[in-house]
């Protein structure tokens, strides 16, 4: 173990602090030093809460010295996408406009729960403006950069979260996923990400994008850490009307259970199209390791993606209408134009999209009567170059920004839980989606753990970090 626990998993950091092999303040100072050294290149952090982190770490060390019972994440550094409220900071949500807001008076619920488990908040992370982004590029704060190749995108909109975890600045980060904003950066940056079931984790005191399918969730470099953070954040919350009242269902103790009895299938049809060779290779490695021989077709997935786009742009346009009217020039023009278009979507089209959404959810849930897990690509390709405008998919030249989430949108649209697992390829990693039925995060995490144990899925340390 390095003196400051560098590159250790969160679980091992907490164990080392509890056993007095290392102090929480040493871990925190080392993480702050890594941020200082590498953030100028990665541009993952927009706000560093150094003094708050030091105070929290000292409190953890005092608890260790007093022999108090520690939380499972005691002393573990983490950071959050800057759409989470952080007490004392304006919640910028990747925008220019929001930084004029008053400082938040209370942390987001998920920050409170992570700190209750002993974790140490180090700051806020870069993101696409108002979460309407798949690239990780930001005209206000600068682009976040991929730790495996800093000339490439992190993916978005949780680009800073992917870069911070992938680059070893923190072992854990939180992000949001509306149409793929956890799974895309996980894929591009080569880390694990969890988009839980819609309503599983509280969104209280986070800035919304599309309330009807916004999710919050964690990024990590191991499945164990993903599960630990997920367990710490579970629970109902009256401050989020969309949060479920289900009992807490911990998953960490279940990861090593045998998956031989699980019915696992590959998503066919739509999900076998629009793929670069690297995405096909990643899927092949996963299905081979799991012994998958069955294929299922998710019906009308292309139509689901279209309906997700209609609802996203309409809800987003409505949310930002006053800002669009009063401060149009303070938006990224690409974001502004899509939100303006969304604000003008005819009501009958939105109504049809919502009716289709209900039908589609019923059809997909029917599939889970005969399968437990569905495997699908997370992104069509490895991370594109920063500033890349187009790529060629199935012989057709298409815009990068709009089509990175081509395989994630039909899934988040109906709130299914997904673990994105990183498959280390040369020259860049790429992710695969492990999709389960609602509330069965445990199954998706068990499969991810089996792939990690087999060496098929891994979050490798980038060169230079």
pLDDT digits (tens, 9 = 90+) for 251-294: 999 999 999 999 999 999 999 999 999 999 999 999 999 999 99
CB burial of 405-414 (b: ≥16 within 10 Å; e: otherwise) equals bbbbbbbbbb
399: alpha, beta or left, given left = phi > 0 and alpha = psi -120 to 50? beta
Of these residues, 81, 144, 202, 252, which one is catalytic?
Answer: 81
Q: Is 19 annotated as catalytic?
A: no
Strands 172-177 and 264-267: unpaired
- pTM given for the model: 0.97
Of these residues, 11, 95, 144, 157, which one is catalytic?
Answer: 157
pLDDT tens-place values along the chain, 465 residues long? 355 778 999 999 999 999 999 999 999 999 999 999 999 999 999 999 999 999 999 999 999 999 999 999 999 999 999 999 999 999 999 999 999 999 999 999 999 999 999 999 999 999 999 999 999 999 999 999 999 999 999 999 999 999 999 999 999 999 999 999 999 999 999 999 999 999 999 999 999 999 999 999 999 999 999 999 999 999 999 999 999 999 999 999 999 999 999 999 999 999 999 999 999 999 999 999 999 999 999 999 999 999 999 999 999 999 999 999 999 999 999 999 999 999 999 999 999 999 999 999 999 999 999 999 999 999 999 999 999 999 999 889 999 999 999 999 999 999 999 999 999 999 999 999 999 999 999 999 999 999 999 999 999 999 989
Whole-number Å distance between alpha carbons of 80 and 352: 35
Please enumerate in sequence order all residues whose Cβ is within 8 A of that of 192, keeping only pairs 6 or more positions apart, or say none: 186, 219, 220, 221, 222, 223, 225, 226, 419, 420, 421, 422, 448, 457, 459
Q: Is 412 annotated as catalytic?
A: no
Q: Do residues 122 and 53 touch, judged by C-beta distance below 8 A?
A: yes
Q: Is 81 annotated as catalytic?
A: yes
Closest to 229 (Cα-Cα) out of 157, 171, 164, 166: 171
Whole-number Å distance between alpha carbons of 322 and 222: 42
Whole-number Å distance between alpha carbons of 103 and 146: 30
Whole-number Å distance between alpha carbons of 345 and 340: 9
Strand partners, 376: 433
Question: SS3 for 302?
Answer: helix
Of these residues, 144, 158, 181, 187, which one is catalytic?
Answer: 181
Whole-number Å distance between alpha carbons of 118 and 78: 11
Q: Do residues 89 and 7 touch, judged by C-beta distance below 8 A?
A: no
Q: Cα 221 to chain center, whole Å?
A: 12
Q: Hey, what are 233's tokens?
A: 């954040």
Beta strand spans in 409-464 (E): 418-423, 430-436
Closest to 411 (Cα-Cα) out of 368, 459, 454: 368
């Amino acid at each position: 173990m390095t003196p400051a626990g560098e590159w250790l998993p969160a679980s091992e950091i907490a164990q080392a602090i509890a056993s007095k092999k290392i102090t929480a303040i040493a871990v925190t100072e080392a993480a702050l030093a890594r941020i200082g050294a590498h953030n100028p290149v990665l541009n993952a952090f927009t706000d560093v809460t150094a003094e708050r982190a030091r105070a929290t770490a000292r409190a953890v060390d005092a608890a260790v010295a007093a022999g108090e019972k520690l939380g499972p994440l005691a002393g573990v550094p983490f950071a959050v996408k800057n759409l989470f409220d952080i007490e004392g900071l304006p919640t910028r949500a990747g925008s220019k406009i929001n930084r004029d807001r008053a400082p938040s008076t209370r942390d987001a619920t998920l920050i409170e729960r992570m700190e209750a488990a002993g974790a140490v908040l180090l700051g806020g992370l870069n993101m696409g403006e108002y979460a309407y982004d798949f690239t990780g590029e930001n005209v206000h704060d600068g682009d976040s950069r991929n730790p495996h190749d800093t000339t490439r995108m992190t993916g978005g909109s949780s680009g800073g979260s992917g870069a911070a975890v992938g680059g070893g600045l923190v072992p854990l980060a939180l992000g949001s996923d509306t149409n793929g904003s956890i799974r895309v950066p996980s894929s591009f940056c080569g880390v694990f990400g969890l988009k839980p079931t819609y309503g599983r984790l509280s969104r209280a005191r986070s800035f919304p994008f599309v309330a009807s399918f916004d999710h919050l969730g964690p990024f990590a470099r191991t499945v164990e850490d993903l599960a630990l953070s997920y367990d710490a954040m579970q629970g109902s919350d009256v401050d989020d009307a969309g949060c479920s009242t289900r009992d807490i269902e911990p998953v960490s103790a279940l990861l090593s259970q045998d998956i031989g009895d699980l019915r696992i299938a590959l998503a066919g049809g739509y999900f076998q199209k629009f793929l670069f060779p690297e995405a096909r290779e990643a899927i092949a490695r996963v299905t081979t390791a799991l012994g998958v021989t069955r294929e299922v077709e998710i019906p009308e997935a292309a139509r689901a993606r279209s309906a997700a786009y209609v609802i996203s742009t309409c809800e987003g346009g409505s949310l930002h209408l006053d800002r669009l009217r009063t401060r149009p020039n303070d938006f990224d023009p690409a974001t502004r134009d899509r939100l303006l278009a969304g604000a003008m979507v005819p009501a009958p089209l939105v109504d049809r999209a919502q009716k289709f959404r209900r039908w589609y959810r019923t059809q997909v849930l029917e599939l889970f009567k005969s399968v437990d897990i569905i495997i699908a690509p997370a992104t069509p390709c490895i991370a594109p170059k920063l500033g890349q405008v187009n790529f060629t998919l199935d012989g057709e030249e298409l815009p990068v920004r709009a089509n990175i989430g081509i395989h994630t949108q039909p899934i988040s649209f109906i709130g299914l839980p997904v673990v994105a697992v990183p498959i280390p390829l040369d020259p860049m990693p790429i992710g695969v989606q492990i999709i389960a039925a609602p509330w069965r995060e445990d199954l998706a995490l068990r499969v991810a753990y089996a792939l990690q144990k087999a060496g098929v899925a891994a979050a490798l340390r980038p060169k230079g970090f």
